[in-house]
Amino acid sequence: MKIDATNTHYRDLNRLIREAAHQSTRRLELHNVFGQRYIGTNLAARTRIDIFGTPGNDLGAFMDGPTIIVHGNAQDGCGNTMNDGRIVVEGRAGDITGLAARGGNIFIRDDVGYRAGIHMKQYDGKRPALVIGGAAQDFLGEYMAGGVIVVLGLTPRADKRHKASFIGTGMHGGVIFMRGPVNQRQLGEGVRIGQLDSKDRRLLARLVGEFAHLFDYDPQEIMTSDFVKLTPMSLRPYGGLYAH
């Protein structure tokens, strides 16, 4: 089913989407999207939504199941507090991608902005994953409590080295895999750089495989590179701070 979003306010657009999902429409195409917010928010259906244009902020916020494919760039808050489902962006995304996500997968082909994966969490079998094909800016994985973030640095802009600072500040769970070297100075306090073990490599290979399939890369080539693993040193990074 096709919806032309020209001159349609996000309230109306989202209502149309929700109605379609309730009627068990399996595939939806949205055309001429320019900045409408909250697309796919709070949807629990197993629908696939293809977006042509630039969706607005909070794409897929609180989403619980659908698949969203953006044929273009996304803005801020992509996958905000997502519970389940999948978001694929054939381009870049803005700030706070995957904020507080607790399940589902987000694949961004190019770069992301600040605070990607901030406050991601995992619980009881649900483990969210955020895979970024290009570079991330500062505060990647801030406050992370669970889940997986992968940064591949494949775009020309990403260069040979990651340039983000304050990676993982406040991290107390989860793991970040980065392709290529990272300096300890770029990391928040309490974040440890380590090597991947076999379990890590299997997880990484699965995510890289999906990413490569989506965006037409060779997964083997990506996997031959060196990866580092970032994990928190403690579950209670600030335990020693307070006097009682």
Partner 1 sequence: MKPRNETERLSNPYNDDKVMAACSIFGMMDISGKAVPGGDVIRAIANMHDRSNGLGGGFAVYGIYPEYADCYAFHVMYPNNETRSDVERYLIKSFAIVHSEEIPTQPAPHIQDPPLVWRYFLLVDSDQRGEQSEEEYVFDRVMTLNTSFPGALVFSSGRNMGVFKGVGYPEEIAHFFHLEDYKGYLWTAHGRFPTNTRGWWGGAHPFSILDWSVVHNGEISSYGTNRRYLEMFAYQCTMQTDTEVVAYAVDLLVRRHGLPIELAAKVFAPPLWKQIDYASQDERTLLTMLRQTYSSLLLNGPFSVIIARQGEMIGLTDRVRLRPLTAATKGDLLFLSSEESAIRLVCPDVETAWTPMGGEPIIGRLRESLPLPKENLEVAVA
Partner 2 sequence: MTAPRSKEQPFHLQKAGKSIASPNEHRVPAPTPSVIAPRFAIIRDLERCIGCQVCVRQCSFGAQAYDSAEDEVYGIDANCVGCQRCVAFCPTSALTVTERPARYRQNFNWRSDVIDDIKRQAETGGVLLTGMGTDKPQPIYWDHLLLNASQVTNPSIDPLREPMELRTYLGRKPDRVDVSTDALRAEAYLPPQVMIETPILFSAMSYGAVSLNVHESLARAAADVGTLFNTGEGGLHRKLRHYGDSTIVQVASGRFGVDLDYLNLARIVEIKVGQGAKPGIGGHLPGHKVSADVSATRMIPVGTDALSPAPHHDIYSIEDLSQLIYALKEATNYAKPVSVKIAAVHNSAAIASGIVRAGADIIAIDGLRGATGAAPKVIRDNVGIPIELALASVDTRLRQEGIRNQVSIIAAGGIRNSADVVKAIALGADAVYIGTAALIALGCTVCQQCHTGRCAWGICTTDPFLSKRLNPEIGAQRLINLLRGWSLEIKEMLGGMGINALESLRGNRHHLRAVGLTEAEMDVLGVRVAGT
Chain residues that interact with partner 1, rule: CB under 8 A = 10, 33-35, 37, 53-57, 72-73, 75-76, 92, 94-95, 111, 113-114, 135, 137-139, 157, 159, 163, 165, 185
Cβ neighbour number for residue 216 with a 10 Å cutoff: 7
Min dist. Cβ of residue 138 to partner 2 (A): 10
* Contact string 157-196 vs partner 2 (x = CB under 8 A): ---------x--xx-----------------x--------
* Angle at the Cα of 45 from the Cα atoms of 40 and 50, rounded to 5 degrees: 45
Per CB under 8 A, the list member of 7, 218, 241, 244 interacting with partner 2 is: 241
Q: Report the DSSP beta bridge partners of residue 173.
A: 145
Q: Contact between 139 and partner 2 (CB under 8 A)? A: yes
CB nearer to partner 2: pick between 219 and 237: 237
Min dist. Cβ of residue 196 to partner 2 (A): 26
**Bridge pairing between strands 64-71 and 191-194:** unpaired
Min dist. Cβ of residue 117 to partner 2 (A): 14
Residue type at 182 in one-letter notation: V
Q: Contact between 114 and partner 2 (CB under 8 A)? A: no
* Residue 243 partner contact from partner 1, partner 2, none using kind-dependent CB cut-offs of 5 to 8 Å: partner 2
CB nearer to partner 2: pick between 118 and 204: 118
Edge-first strand listing for the sheet containing 48-54: 2-4, 27-34, 48-54, 64-71, 84-89, 105-108, 129-132, 145-151, 173-179, 227-232, 191-194
CB nearer to partner 2: pick between 143 and 211: 143
CB nearer to partner 2: pick between 56 and 170: 170
d(CA 101, CA 106): 10
Question: What are residue 211's phi and psi, to 5 degrees?
Answer: -55, -50
The piece of 36-44, 51-59, 137-145, 223-231 that touches partner 2 (CB under 8 A) is 137-145
> Are the CB atoms for 88 and 107 separated by under 8 Å?
yes
* Residue 67 partner contact from partner 1, partner 2, none using kind-dependent CB cut-offs of 5 to 8 Å: none
Which residues would be at the binding site for partner 2 (CB under 8 A)?
139, 142-143, 166, 169-170, 188, 238, 241, 243
